Amino acid sequence: MSVEYRAVAFTMQALVKYHGLKDWKLRLPYHDSISVNTTSMKTEASITDSKKGGVYIEGKQNDSANGRLQAVVARLDQTKGVRDFRIDSRNIPSGKAKGIGYSSSAGAALTLLSHRLLVGDDPDLTELSKTARLFAASASRSLVGGFSRLYAGKDDDSTYAERFADSHDLDLRMVIVPLPSRVRTEDAHREVLTSPFFKARVESAQKRCEEMQKAILGGDLDVLGRLAERDTLELHSLTMTGDSGLVIMTEDSIRIIRRVRELRNEGVKAYYSMQTGPSVFINTSAEDEGAVLRAVEKLGYKGYLSGVGGEATIL
């Protein structure tokens, strides 16, 4: 008898971002990272053992996702022996934007579905985050939801994500502006290791995690915003000072950043944040999210309002 499960997982904004991996097989980052899940962007997926072929995204088989999922399945497949199945996945809203976090939400959804099919019980999400990390380190944070921290331990067991806050601690609002790019995140992760500033980045980011977590638990949007902006500039400086001089920001990114700074000078709470891509997150408050969205749309861009999202869930 065939079984089918469905799941949803939300994308995340990395407030303190990791860059580079010290172990690619286990996907162990060099330092801790902190993120917040969104409510407006997500991955919906289903799994069934009556069909074969691995992962299909928007109806097309995805070799990259299949390759990453193998490590997840190998770890989970200890009880039922189900080896071949099909996962159908789609991102909402769809598009070719980069730096939105769909690899994190997809990894979280696929890991949760695989656990349900292969193991069967309701997992401890913090423990399961170690498995989601094998798909993508950011997937471990997306899995647990809210404001979460990925602890960069010395080995597989000590590297996990844990949720430490939610909207009750800080009612963060975001305006997300998706922008396209052809840069692969994997290439950027390898590139930053060649920057002469990488060691300083590891130390700086680890310290910033402590400051960021304190700001979130204290409900301090302004400190969160300033820290996320600093982290963004630092991260992109690394990619630009690697051997290839990789520039991920685009003219559109810069234009939006300038407008965010103008809004702040006008008394609007608005702070920019970027991941490994040109897309821009604007961190703001419930009172100012409308003004920020109107400013983005006036520039000619599509913006998505978002609050603090929850964990990955079986539907």
- Cα Rg for the chain, rounded, in angstroms? 19
Q: Residue 264: which CATH number?
A: 3.30.70.890
Q: Do 216 and 159 belong to one domain?
A: no
Distances (CA, A) of 203 to 24, 63, 190, 198, 236: 20, 35, 18, 9, 16
Single residue among 167, 190, 206 that ends a domain in this structure: 167
At 33-61, the pLDDT tens digits run 999 999 999 999 999 987 778 899 888 88
Instruction: For residues 290-302, give the mean pLDDT.
Output: 98
Q: Do 154 and 22 belong to one domain?
A: yes
Q: Do 184 and 148 belong to one domain?
A: no
Distance between CA atoms of 238 and 19, rounded to whole angstroms? 9
Single residue among 120, 147, 167 that ends a domain in this structure: 167
pLDDT of 168: 97
At 148-185, the pLDDT tens digits run 999 999 999 999 999 999 999 999 999 999 998 887 77
49-81 per-residue burial string, b: 16 or more CB within 10 A, e: under 16: beeeebbbbeeeebeebeebbebbbebbeeeee
Q: Do 19 and 121 belong to one domain?
A: yes
Q: Do 179 and 63 belong to one domain?
A: no
Q: Do 118 and 137 belong to one domain?
A: yes
Q: Do 275 and 127 belong to one domain?
A: no
Residue 114 lies in a domain: yes
pLDDT of 26: 95
Say what the pTM is.
0.94
Q: Do 42 and 163 belong to one domain?
A: yes
Single residue among 147, 167, 187 that ends a domain in this structure: 167
High-pLDDT (> 70) share of the chain, %: 98
Distance between CA atoms of 124 and 247, rounded to whole angstroms? 39
Range of the domain at 216: 173-306
Residue 238 lies in a domain: yes
Residue 44 lies in a domain: yes
Q: Do 152 and 178 belong to one domain?
A: no
Residue 314 lies in a domain: no
Q: Is the pLDDT of residue 304 over 70?
A: yes
Q: Do 181 and 142 belong to one domain?
A: no
Q: Do 156 and 181 belong to one domain?
A: no
At 254-292, the pLDDT tens digits run 999 999 999 999 999 999 999 999 999 999 999 999 999
At 7-35, the pLDDT tens digits run 999 999 999 999 889 999 999 999 999 99
Q: Do 123 and 45 belong to one domain?
A: yes
Instruction: For residues 225-245, give the mean pLDDT.
Output: 95
- Strand 33-48 and strand 147-151: pairing? antiparallel
Total domains in the fold of the chain: 2
